[in-house]
Structure 1
Amino acid sequence: MLLLGIDVGTSSIKVAVVDALTQECVASAQFPDEESAIISPKAGWAEQSPEMWWEHAKTAILRANATGKYNPKDIGAIGIAYQMHGLVVVDKAQQTLRNAIIWCDSRAVEIGNKAFESIGPEKSLAHLLNSPGNFTASKLAWVKENEPALYESIDKIMLPGDYVAMKLTGSITTSVSALSEGVFWDFQEDQLSGDVLDYYQFEKSLIPTINPVFSEHGTVQQAVAAELGLTAGIPVTYKSGDQPNNALSLNVLRPGEVAATAGTSGVIYGVSDQLIYDPQSRVNTFAHVNYGEAQKRLGVLLCINGTGSLNRWIKTIAGTGISYAEMNRLAAGIPVGSNDLRVIPFGNGAERMLGNKLVGSHFHNIDLNLHTKAHLFRGVQEGIAFAFRYGLDIMRESGMNPSIIRAGKANLFLSDTFTEAFVNATHVPVELYQNDGSVGAALGAGIGVKAFQSEEEAFTKSKKLQVVEPTAIDQYEPVYQEWKALLQQHLNKN
């Protein structure tokens, strides 16, 4: 059986076709070739068109089909990974009513903070494991408050992956994992949060049917199948946010295991069997893909908005005409500490781990006679690595103390400079794997359609490429402490 995985990213849509028997990727494709735009009508706002995701997904699937490396009719199940925390709203005809408010949008911060205080910090953290903060529920509250006529037309709310599944199948479903990432789920009661629904005065009918992550979420409609060369009636059997999906694809499923990714955003994601939370909600706890009533599996998530987004920005500003590989090569020629250049990388919306403050990105100690674009490239990568260290120290306060971190050799982990800075700043070795979100989604579909006996069996042929050990902690630690002091100065201003 072949499995189709769709990864609905912020920058592009990636798809992969995987052979369930060999667990090998047969073909992959993405669209668009350049990064998708983020619509920002006001400072701190971030939106994308759900219809754009669907058109891009179809184009990516047709590109994969065009490789001729497989028969699309042999695809037997579909899995979807997606950018987390977004809000899609549709009417009874399944038409979108507005652009999606995506993960890095900051407009609902104060709405969520007021909900946190009204529900009560202690009760909110004990039951939701988070503050409502800037998550999907608070974004919906913003729509209700600011676009009341539109709100009245909403039939169902969705996350980005739910929308793509709806376009494939005509069915709208969700899961406990998805609801928890929107901060709609009460973990103490194991049900929709009455506190959140009551405080925001949301109708329960807005919530789609709740299914397990690994289960049927609808079957492909005849017209869609004809357009994409698929077999009508094949099921969508997996939907997950991109970070739980990344952890799944790295076989991070058991308590104590930790995954990381450094794409548009940066994430450290650890699995726990305890209902733990950060008292300040700087890191967040959600239901993992294998969460169930009999087996509590929680994902403790640290998210940094300004990682790959900053690396992309510095490429646009200073690296025009060169590749990321060339940027990495230039950065490697600069000594540790970038000759005193320090970069604070928080310029992509409010940062949860900094108390939802808008700190911005800052370049310190620029010497016009010394620093070159190579220094900028290295300084950016070191600054991002130091942000990971800062966040990991917060996770350590909650008992998450990884002895090793797994990551895909992709995005910033393609850079030896960044990887070296990451392991030496955090003091934790990294195992690098050949991994991809769309491949993980495909294997998730295989789990959902029972092509494998267990979640673990889906990754028995996972390829570990290398282990990177920290060997220069003494060089990086004083640089990190300088960076941390500069960050504290910015935090004190906010």
Structure 2
Amino acid sequence: MNYYIGVDLGTSSMKLILLDEEGQIRKTVSKTYPSAFPRPGWSEQNPEDWRGALMEGIPELLEDLESGQVAGIGCGGQMHGLVILDEKDQVIRPAILWNDGRTTKQTEALNDGIGRKKLEEWTANVAFAGFTAPKLLWLKEEEPEHYGRIAKIMLPKDYINYILTGVHACDYSDASGTLLLDVKEKRWSSQMLEACGVRESQLPRLWESFQCIGTVQSEIARVLGLPQGVKVAAGAGDNAAAAIGTGIIGDGGCNISLGTSGTVFVSSKAFPANPNPAIHTFAHADGGYHLLGCMLSAASCNRWFMEDILRTEDYASEQLAIAEKRLGKNPVYFLPYLMGERSPIEDMNARGTFIGMRMDTTRADLVQAVLEGVAFAIRDNLEAVKRTGIVLESSRICGGGAKSVLWRRILANVLNIPLQCLQSEQGPALGGAMLAMAACDGGVSLEEICRKCVRTGETILPEPWLAEAYEDRYQRFQKIYPACRNLFTELA
């Protein structure tokens, strides 16, 4: 029996899973590490903490296993982070993470100086503060002594792969989020490298996510208790790895994640024509492409309202108070822009807003409005994807918010498509293990691996009467943000 290790390098912890060749998860391990916030809006981590989590986590994962059976390792990880190494491959400074907000000036310089149209032409995307290229420009301006020492520029999960193999490698899906990749042609963009003052020799070699970049180094294998010759897959960015873990590959596959943030991930074999730059166009881990809509506050809106405003953690009781007759008829609306918004409106000044309250508005109405507001914002992203010509007939759904029966029902009817749940969710870690499986056996397709490893559960079907009621409410919801946009700017 062969086994495959999947690694999810998350923002707060590293999750490792052990997957057998039959697609069964045998064990999971989690290791936490700290983040640092040197200034308001800054977010950093020490890559050596990731190394520690890896070196502790894998031996723990293999405690009850004949380690000689491990065949491969694959990693999915937090995107956009900037890891810089010197000529001796030593980390120069802490990694600047995806959720770091220090690069507003550099982001504006890229979008306004180079121009959004040229950026889209060169990279298929425009600049966002979280992307890697603005971080490099910030480093060049604010820490020139560090910038001048850079020998290699890496992404977080690529540093894990470097620890294992000694190889500087990056896959296309993760590279898509740097704003340094020509996504359509799958090569580093010479125009963007010149604009950022980066030499191609400073960047890692590019691979497909399912390709083997090398094997675990002998000394590292000995310390981890692994056999010699364990293959390491290139891996993927967290969203693409999670999509593999939910079986979203090929044309028109869709996964909606109702987590702290919310994502709409749609796969495509061909490079999609995308008219909305706030919807990201990235390479996918299956060798094709994907569109990604990312909203900054999803299940976190519900957590905020439950715990910070209502001062309760009894989510179920609050939702039970929502009357059946109020579904599709709630007069209260909620804009879920508590942290501004990324996709599809691209407005960091936008804010959360309740509208439509009256003297007879109840606590349950407000709880319902929050659930519906997030669902409407996800619908906004889905509509933006549809405008590319992609036809979506159904979607899979995952994330903590998807555990709510009521929220799943609301979402299925707001979107008016069937939503398929998963029996278990292991996120990017499962996707990483599946990519490792593909890297170890080039004769097995990702389609076959998905059939073996991804197990689906209940499907929630839209109800015609409720879908019609929510269609009317969605049309009204769409009018609220445009009416408030200028006010949000003034308030900012």
Q: TM-score band, normalised by the shorter chain?
A: 0.7 to 0.9
Give the residue type in structure 1 aligned to 2:236: S
1:258-277 aligned at under 5 Å gives the runs 258-277=254-273
Which residue of 1 is the match for residue 388 of structure 2?
A: 398
* Corresponding residue pairs, total: 478
Tell whether the 8 Å contact from 2:10 to 2:77 is kept in structure 1 after alignment: yes
For residue 242 of structure 1, report the CA deviation from its aligned partner.
Answer: 1.4
Counterpart selection for 1:65 from 62, 66, 84: 62
Separation in 2, partners of 1:220, 1:138: 33
Q: Which residue of 1 aligns with 2:462?
A: 470
Partner amino acid, structure 1, of 2:14:
I
The code of the aligned residue for 2:383 comes to D
Post-superposition shift, 1:132? 3.1
Q: Which residue of 1 aligns with 2:153?
A: 157
CA distance in 1, matches of 2:25, 2:116: 46
Q: Would you say the 8 A contact 1:2–1:77 is kept in 2?
A: yes
3-state SS in 2 of match to 1:489: helix
Cα 1:188–1:257 shift into 2, 3 Å: closer
Within 1, Cα distance between the matches of 2:282 and 2:37?
28
Seen in structure 2, the aligned counterparts of structure 1 residues 24 and 193 have a Cα distance that, compared at 3 Å, is same
Are 1:78 and 2:78 matched, yes or no?
A: no
User: Which of these residues, 421, 433, 446, is aligned with residue 410 of structure 2?
Assistant: 421
Check if 1:49 corresponds to 2:46: yes
- Post-superposition shift, 1:359? 1.8
| 1:294 matched residue in structure 2 | none
What are the within-5 Å matches in structure 2 for residues 28-427 of structure 1? Answer: 28-32=28-32, 39-66=36-63, 68=64, 70-134=65-129, 135-187=131-183, 189-291=185-287, 297-314=288-305, 316-317=307-308, 322=313, 326-335=314-323, 336=327, 340-348=331-339, 351-364=342-355, 371-372=362-363, 377-408=367-398, 410-427=399-416
Question: 3-state SS of the aligned residue for 2:71?
Answer: strand
Read off the aligned partner of 1:464 and give its amino acid letter: T
The question of whether the paired residues in 2 share the 8 Å contact of 1:328 and 1:377 is answered with no
Moved more, 37-46 or 211-220: 37-46
Provide, for residues 100-159 of structure 1, a one-character-per-residue CA deviation record: whole Å limited to 9, x for no partner. Answer: 222233333442343244444444323421113332112221221221111112221111
The Cα offsets for residues 235-288 of structure 1, whole Å up to 9 and x where unpaired, read as 212410111112222222212222222223211111224433434411011111
SS in structure 2 opposite 1:218? strand
Amino acid at match of 1:450: D
Please give the alpha-carbon distance, in whole angstroms, between the structure 2 residues aligned to 1:455 and 1:285: 21
| Alignment RMSD (CA, Å) | 2.9
Inter-partner Cα distance in structure 2 for 1:89 and 1:183:
16
Query: In structure 2, how many angstroms separate the alpha carbons of the residues matched to 1:329 and 1:209?
Result: 52
CA contact (8 A) 2:161 2:234 kept: no
**2:436 aligned partner:** 445
The whole-number CA distance in structure 2 between the counterparts of 1:346 and 1:41 is 25
Over 3 Å counting, the alpha-carbon distance change for 1:377 and 1:119 in structure 2 is same
Q: Distance in 1 between matches of 2:365 and 2:47?
A: 38
Is this contact kept in 1: 2:295–2:341, CA < 8 A?
no
Encode CA deviations 1:396-427: one digit per residue, 9 max, x unaligned.
2222331111234x421111122112211112
1:431 paired residue among 420, 430, 441: 420
1:2–1:75 Cα contact (<8 Å) kept: yes
Aligned counterparts of 1:38 and 1:358: Cα–Cα separation in 2: 26
Q: CA 1:333–1:199 in structure 2 vs 1: closer, same or farther (change >3 Å)?
A: same
Q: Distance in 1 between matches of 2:417 and 2:328?
A: 19
1:17-49 per-position Cα deviation (integer Å, ceiling 9, x unaligned): 1111x11111113234xxx66544445443333
**Which structure 1 segments of 5+ residues have no match?**
292-296
Where 1:474 maps in the other structure, the secondary structure is helix
What is the CA–CA distance in structure 1 between the aligned matches of 2:339 and 2:461, rounded to whole Å?
30
- Specify the SS of the correspondent of 2:462: coil
Instruction: Give the distance between the partners of 1:368 and 1:65, measured in 2 at CA.
Output: 60
Instruction: Report the alpha carbon displacement of residue 200 of structure 1 after superposing the two structures with TM.
Output: 1.7
| Amino acid in the other structure paired with 2:285 | V
SS in 2 for 1:303: strand
Q: Secondary structure at the match of 1:217?
A: strand
Per-residue deviation, residues 280-310 of structure 1 (Å, max 9, x unmatched): 411011111133xxxxx21111111212343
Please tell me the residue identity of whatever aligns with 1:26: R
CA contact (8 A) 2:250 2:286 kept: no
What stretches of structure 2 of length at least 5 have no aligned partner? none
Q: Is contact 1:88–1:101 with CA below 8 Å preserved after alignment?
A: yes
8 Å CA contact 2:422–2:457 kept in 1: the answer is yes
Looking at structure 2, the residues matched to 203 and 370 of structure 1 have their Cα atoms a distance apart, in angstroms, of: 60
- The separation in 2 between residues aligned to 1:273 and 1:386, in whole angstroms, is 28
Contact kept, 8 Å, 2:187 with 2:206, in 1: the verdict is: no
CA shift for structure 1 position 320 = 6.5
Counting aligned pairs with the same residue, the percent is 28
Contact kept, 8 Å, 1:331 with 1:375, in 2: the verdict is: no
Distance 1:474 1:455, change over 3 A: same
